[in-house]
Amino acid sequence: MIVRDTLFYRTLVSMARQRPGLDEPRCQAMLDILSAADALRSALRHSLHYAEISELQFCVLTILLALDPLPCTPALLADHAGVSRAAITEALDRIEERKWITRDRSQEDRRSYFIRLTEFGRTVIDQLAPAVIRHLALQADGLKGNAPQQLQELCGKLGAPITPLATA
């Protein structure tokens, strides 16, 4: 985790200042963005902790809500969540224990399962998702005017693929 104004942060900024070819202001800006992202993610996890749900479990329920009433396979859930199938299986085990989903074996391919929200799971995510969105909106309270749109544009530019790190 990158925290602003720590020894780790200051050392990286100092290295960017001292090394030829490194752009200190850009490096510092990127470290600031990473720091803010870490803080936001930490706040999200903290709010989900009170609901006794992991970030991935929340993601799975949200995906299932988006696809509802259609069922979803674990492989498709993993793709939509950007995680491994093993991670999805573990998340599904936890939310199935809480009766938020059902797993039904496919009639065509007995190795496959279809995942669906239960009514209880739908109620949980219908209440939890707006609470999380409100919490995130509070985190963004300092963004005034067209700052949200500018931040979205900036994030779009920063999210472009880059060449992997090369070690010297």
Q: How far is CA 100 from the centre of its chain?
A: 20
Answer whether 0.75 is exceeded by the pTM: yes
Question: What distance in Å separates the CA atoms of residue 149 and residue 53, rounded to the nearest whole number?
Answer: 30
> Rounded mean pLDDT of the chain?
89
Closest CA to 48 of 94, 114, 84, 116: 94
At residue 166, the pLDDT reads 60
Tens-place pLDDT, residues 64-112: 999 999 989 999 999 999 999 999 999 999 999 999 999 998 788 777 8
Residue 149 has pLDDT above 60, yes or no: yes
